Amino acid sequence: MLAENPNESSRALLLRRVRLVFNMGSFMRKIFCLGLLVIASSSCTSRERTPANAGPTGLAATFSYRLVKLDHGILQPIDTASLNNIKYFAFYYSASWCPPCRIFTPKLVDFYNSFKPQHPDFELIFVNQGSSASDMLDYMKAEAMPWPAARFEDIDGSNANQYASEEIPDLVLVDADGKVLSNSFMGSTYVGPNKVLDDIQSLVH
């Protein structure tokens, strides 16, 4: 019986098993055991190369807030690590009490639903500028927002508002390093989020 050291790597353990096989008597037994070792080696190598519980990387790793998403009318948490392959983030600052937001949001929903499936490296994150978690939920449900959102309870005291301005609706496009590529301003003049929608279509490939 081969005694296994729990601190021994899979490669070292495999070599010990190979030496043990060649010390066996019969040729056919060696061939059979070597076949089993090849299968075991492939499995061990695959396990060693797959990191367990990989956390968020890139810009997603800098989020100091949790993310939620509508699921059958309920906000459910999502894993921030699911954004690891995102190269472009759009942050949407909006609130239910803002009339221009209520006009623009349905257009943004339509845009996202048609654009996102063709651009999996793009994601939009809603950061509510309203006064309560219930208002945020009602707003997301009323507009059927399909994107993730910063959890309401985490917005204050986090970096969720790092790209926000004093005007809403405010849409900001950044790259995977957090560099702003487009916002709702021309210089210091607020021009609105439609400009950013045009830039997203031009910049996100």
Prior bond of 56 cis (ω within 30°): no
Q: Which CATH number fits domain 58-203: 3.40.50.620, 2.102.10.10, 3.40.30.10, 3.40.50.1100?
A: 3.40.30.10
What is the CA 68 to chain-centroid distance, rounded? 11
User: Which H/E stretch holds residue 36?
Assistant: helix 27-49
Q: Looking at the predicted structure, is the pLDDT value of residue 28 above 90?
A: no
Distant-in-sequence, close-in-space partners of 126: CB < 8 Å, separation ≥ 6: 92, 94, 140, 145, 147, 148, 149, 150
- CB contact at 8 A, 164 and 178: no
Cα angle 148-152-157, degrees, rounded to a multiple of 5:
115
Rg over alpha carbons for the chain, rounded to the nearest Å, is 26
The pLDDT of residue 43 is above 50: no
Give the pLDDT band of residue 10 (cuts 50, 70, 90): low
**Tell me: the pLDDT tens digits for 135-175?**
999 999 999 999 999 999 999 999 999 999 999 999 999 99
